[in-house]
């Protein structure tokens, strides 16, 4: 008798921009052994190239255009309703450039992950590459974290570093960071889909053990 295969965790990705991280996630989840599948990609911007990438991969897309809503609450309620139609097990922010309300964040607590272009807790918010350069940081990087009510302040699961060189500009640094993000995010999503990562009250369990510091992606 053949054992019934458990259905794969359902991943939904939200993006606002060019979607290179969405592409990395699409490519990773296409691998035969990936323990999850992307059921939809949503955006607040009708013209986001991330939607094009999803459509190319035959993944469903949806748009909740924030300019059509009078308040953040109304936008988030509409977004939440759309997301719920897909019943996701994992909700990923991949360059999703809207601040989410506390109600939204609470509704998806524990399954809502974000990738942020800095070594958190350094440089929450915007212009992270510029700020790292201005501070003369020798290393910069990216973080994957659980989203909580505090902006870019939820527990960090994993990070990857890049070296900053004297020639770097915000643009060149953004490219270097993105190259790391494309490796890091799929790895963390894999672990999450395998049930290895859990969010506690203000801590993370990795393989059932308290994660004392973010996991680090190294070059070797």
Kindly tell me which residue out of 13, 21, 100, 113 binds ligand GAR, with binding defined by CB under 6 A.
21
76 binds ligand GAR (CB under 6 A): no
> Interaction with ligand GAR in 110-139: which residues (CB under 6 A)?
115-117
Among the listed residues 197, 175, 67, 174, the one whose alpha carbon sits nearest the alpha carbon of residue 127: 174
Place of tokens 């009078």: 70
145 classed as catalytic: no
**Least spacing, CB of residue 28 vs ligand GAR, in Å:** 13
Please choose, out of 3-11, 12-20, 77-85, 192-200, the segment that lies near ligand GAR by the rule CB under 6 A.
12-20
Edge-to-edge strand ranges of the sheet holding 197-199:
197-199, 204-206, 209-210
Kindly tell me which residue out of 98, 178, 180, 190 binds ligand GAR, with binding defined by CB under 6 A.
178
Q: Burial level of 51, CB count in 10 A (0-12/13-18/19+)?
A: buried
If one counts every other C-beta atom within 10 angstroms of the C-beta of residue 176, the result is 19
20 binds ligand GAR (CB under 6 A): yes
Residues, the chain = 220
Residues that bind ligand GAR (CB under 6 A): 15, 17-21, 94-95, 115-117, 142, 177-178, 181
């Amino acid at each position: 008798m053949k054992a019934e295969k458990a259905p794969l965790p359902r991943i939904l990705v939200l993006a606002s921009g060019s979607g290179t991280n969405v592409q990395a996630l699409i490519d990773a989840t296409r691998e035969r052994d990936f323990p999850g599948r992307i059921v939809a990609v949503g955006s607040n911007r009708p013209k986001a190239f991330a939607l094009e990438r999803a459509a190319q991969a035959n993944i469903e897309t949806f748009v909740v255009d924030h300019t059509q809503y009078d308040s953040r609450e109304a936008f988030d309620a509409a977004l939440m309703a759309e997301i719920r139609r897909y019943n996701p097990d994992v909700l990923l922010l991949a360059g999703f450039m809207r601040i989410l309300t506390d109600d939204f964040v609470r509704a998806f607590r524990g399954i809502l992950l974000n990738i942020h272009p800095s070594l958190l807790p350094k440089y929450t918010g915007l212009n992270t590459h510029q700020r790292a350069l201005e501070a003369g940081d020798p290393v910069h990087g990216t973080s994957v974290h659980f989203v909580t009510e505090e902006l870019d302040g939820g527990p960090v699961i994993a990070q990857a570093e890049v070296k900053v060189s004297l020639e770097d500009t915000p643009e060149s640094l953004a490219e270097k960071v993105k190259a790391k993000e494309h490796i890091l995010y799929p790895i963390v999503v894999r672990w999450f889909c395998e049930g290895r990562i859990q969010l506690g009250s203000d801590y993370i369990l990795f393989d059932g053990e308290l994660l004392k510091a973010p996991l680090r992606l190294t070059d070797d």
